[in-house]
Amino acid sequence: MRCPYCAANEDHVIDSRPTYDGKAIRRRRECLTCSRRFTTFERIEERPLMVVKKDGRREPFSIDKIQQGIMISCRKRPVSMQIIENAVDEIEREIYNRMEPEIDSVEIGPIVMQKLLQIDPVAYVRFASVYQEFQDPQQFGEIVHMLTQPPKRKKQQKEAVK
């Protein structure tokens, strides 16, 4: 590892420990030439996941874009950052667990919408209106109507009991 102070290549590791999330190893190093200490992080090199856009373009998957979209949808809603971060982690895990090198952008939106539906219905409507490119107020009415209807399973269970 090259020293950031004197550019020497000789150092030794003083301490190694995992980061708080366990996704990297933090190493404290000491340069053998100038004796200054510095920190490095070692991470697993993951193969890049590519997102295939509607127009056929490909770009690297960015969890930051999903987090930003969720945060905008949850703005001024009673949703904590911890809930948002947990949702983003779950979405990222679900996408990477597919173990495929590419994912269509149209597959990501429904995953995010499903998670938002569990978190906050207003955030869900906000995200859906952008993702599904609502063009008129009727589309908002349809989604709100869908959210206010009791789940079909509960209704069918009640009828079966009678």
The DSSP string of 82-150 is HHHHHHHHHHHHHHHTT--SEEEHHHHHHHHHHHHHHH-HHHHHHHHHHHTT--SHHHHHHHHHHHHSP
Q: In b/e form, how buried is each residue of 6-23, taking b as 16+ CB within 10 angstroms?
A: eeeeebeeeeeeeeeeee
Residue 2 lies in a domain: no
Q: What is the pLDDT of residues 96-132, one digit of tens each?
A: 888 888 999 889 989 998 999 899 888 888 887 777 6
36 and 66 both lie in a single domain: no
- Tell if the pTM clears 0.85, that is, is over it: no
Highest mean pLDDT: which of 59-68, 120-129, 146-155?
59-68
Residue 70 lies in a domain: yes
What percent of the chain has a predicted confidence (pLDDT) above 70?
A: 88
- What is the average pLDDT value for the chain, to the nearest integer? 85
Residue 158 scores a pLDDT above 80: no
Residue 98 lies in a domain: yes
Residue 157 scores a pLDDT above 50: no
Report the domain count for the chain. Answer: 2
Predicted pLDDT of residue 154: 46
Residue 139 scores a pLDDT above 80: no
16 and 82 both lie in a single domain: no
